[in-house]
Amino acid sequence: MTWTDADQERAIRGQALSIALAVAPFGVAFGVACSEAGLSVWEAIGFSTLVFSGSAQFAAVSVLADGGTAVAAVTSGLLLNLRSLAFGVAMAGALKGPVWWRALTAQLMIDESTAVGSVQRTDALKRYGYLAGGVAVFVLWNLTTVLGVSVLSSSEQLIEDLGIDATIPAAFLALLWPRLADPTQRIIAAAGAVVALALVPISPAGVPIIAAAAAVVLARPWSDAPTERPVAS
């Protein structure tokens, strides 16, 4: 492949926009969930800007809607977000810059920005992908939250009828796909998938994804020897 950086950046912007469009219907659904839980428009916007983490927002608001305590709502959200720690480790090397800049852009540390960023080839393109994915999702997520909480109140059926809920797994798969060409990554991806599936029925949401990260031990990341190097006698 002899793509220039400009070509790469255009492709990355396409990925960022696609994934943001895939997430947008869930912003609507979150807004609807807020209105059902009795939250005001401003509270809904507060969640989507200040928490900015789809699954944790859903978890917390659904606990509130079910009459759960504040502690239960916060705990369920934070458990789901433990994976942000792993994402942060995965992205840290590429997120250069002054402390204030890293502090600001850290708010964009979500599934989609990490997915678009981490699969790029160079640190500069990783950073570009992270920011493009993060900003695109942030803007659309907040616009659609407002739409959901203030205008629409029964759009969940429409999301299902149009199959829009299938776009998120498809987008994750599309980002994973190129990595599966590498045998090592194929193995740890498969192992991670098995671990996650096995844990879904017995652990709180979010934990299966964190546990799947442990599959990297199969690739022995602590050993200095890259996989290409011939085995020394």
Report the residue number, 232 or 233, with the smaller CB distance to another protein: 232
Residues numbered 196 to 225 that lie near another protein (CB under 8 A) are 196-197, 200-203, 205, 208-209, 212-216, 219, 221-222, 224
Q: Which has the closest alpha carbon to 187: 178, 179, 196?
A: 179
Q: How far apart are CA 214 and CA 128, in angstroms?
A: 27
Q: How many of the other CB atoms lie within 10 Å of CB of 55?
A: 18
DSSP helix/strand/coil, 79: helix
| Euclidean distance between the first and the last CA atom of the chain, given in angstroms as a whole number | 34
Residues numbered 68 to 107 that lie near another protein (CB under 8 A) are 70, 73-74, 77-78, 81-93, 95-99, 102-103, 105-107
What's the closest the beta carbon of residue 180 comes to another protein, in angstroms? Answer: 8
What's the closest the beta carbon of residue 52 comes to another protein, in angstroms? Answer: 8
Select from 36, 118, 143, 147 the one that contacts another protein (CB under 8 A): 118
* Amino acid at position 177, single letter: W
Residues numbered 128 to 147 that lie near another protein (CB under 8 A) are none
Q: Is residue 125 a contact residue for another protein (CB under 8 A)?
A: no
Determine whether 223 is exposed, middle or buried from the number of CB atoms within 10 Å of its CB (0-12, 13-18, 19+).
exposed
Pick left, alpha or beta for residue 52 (phi over 0 → left; psi -120 to 50 → alpha; otherwise beta): left
Report the residue number, 153 or 227, with the smaller CB distance to another protein: 227
What's the closest the beta carbon of residue 77 comes to another protein, in angstroms? Answer: 5
Is 41 within 8 Å of 145 (Cβ atoms)? no
Q: Is residue 163 a contact residue for another protein (CB under 8 A)?
A: yes
Select from 9, 41, 51, 147 the one that contacts another protein (CB under 8 A): 51
